[in-house]
């Protein structure tokens, strides 16, 4: 498992890092995001979407749970913020998204880790300061 740690100083820098990650993603990739409210997850996903060639705004899926976008590669943006327990993840069909032709990004992925495919990218977000975000990316290479 390879770990890379980044520090960003603004939402723009967080988005740029997301863009770089997004442009390197392939069909079938699953990205799990961990981190508290306001730690930069949604901004990072907006960057991923740009990296995947998706036009238009990527909104928070806290309400709809899943938003779908169609660029060069489809993006399935999932947000588990409102979900109560792991049983409900299977009930919404979360595993179906992992085996499609798109990229799946999951915010608030804590409860879903046991259901993820064997290989996935884990990204941890934390606030070290009002503006500084620590972003740790763990992947298989």
Partner 1 sequence: MLILGIESSCDDMAAAVVEDGEIILSNVVSSQDEIHKKYGGIVPELASRRHIETVIPVVEEALVQAGHAIADIDAIGVTQGPGLVGSILVGLSFAKAVAYAMDIPFVGVNHIEAHPMAVFLEERVQGFKGSRVQEKNLQSAIHNPQFPFIALVVSGGHTSLLKFNDFGDYCIIGQTRDDAAGEAFDKVAKLLGLGYPGGAVIDKLAKEGNPSAINFTRPYMQDTLDFSFSGLKTAVLNWIKGQEGSSSMMGNAHPATANLAASFQEAVVDTLVFKSLLACKKSSINNLVISGGVACNSRLRHKLSEAAESEGINLFIPHPKLCTDNGATVAAAAYHKLRNGISSDISLNAYASL
CA distance 23 to 122: 17
Choose between 60 and 139: whose C-beta lies nearer to partner 1: 60
**Of 8, 14, 42, 104, the one binding partner 1 by CB under 8 A:** 42
Q: Considering only residues 16, 28, 53, 60, which one is a binding residue for partner 1 as defined by CB under 8 A?
A: 60
H or E element in which residue 96 lies? helix 94-98
Under rule CB under 8 A, residue 63 binds partner 1: yes
Cα separation, 99 vs 68, in Å, equals: 15
> Which of 1, 2, 37, 118: binder of partner 1 (CB under 8 A)?
37
Q: Which stretch binds partner 1 (CB under 8 A): 14-22, 27-35, 36-44, 47-55?
A: 36-44
Q: Write out the H or E segment, with its range, that includes residue 126.
A: strand 121-127
Angle at 59 between CA 53 and CA 64, to 5 degrees: 120
Tokens of 130: 């009002």
Does 7 bind partner 1 (CB under 8 A)? Our answer is no
Q: Does 70 bind partner 1 (CB under 8 A)?
A: no
Return d(Cα 101, Cα 93) in angstroms, integer: 16
Task: List residues binding partner 1 (CB under 8 A).
Answer: 11, 37-38, 42-43, 46, 57, 59-60, 62-68, 81-84, 87-88, 91-92, 127, 130
């Amino acid at each position: 498992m390879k770990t890379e740690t980044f520090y960003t100083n603004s939402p723009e820098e967080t988005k740029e890092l997301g863009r770089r990650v997004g442009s390197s993603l392939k069909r079938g990739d699953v990205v799990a995001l961990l981190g508290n409210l306001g730690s930069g997850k949604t901004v990072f996903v907006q960057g991923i979407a740009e990296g995947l060639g998706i036009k238009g705004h990527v909104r928070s899926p806290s309400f709809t749970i899943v938003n779908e976008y169609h660029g060069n590669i489809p993006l399935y943006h999932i947000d588990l913020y409102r979900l109560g327990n792991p049983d409900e993840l299977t009930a919404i069909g979360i595993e179906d998204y992992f085996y499609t032709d798109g990229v799946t990004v999951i915010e608030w992925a804590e409860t879903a880790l046991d259901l993820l495919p064997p290989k996935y990218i884990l990204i941890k977000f934390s606030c070290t300061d009002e503006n500084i975000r620590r972003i740790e990316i763990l992947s298989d290479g």
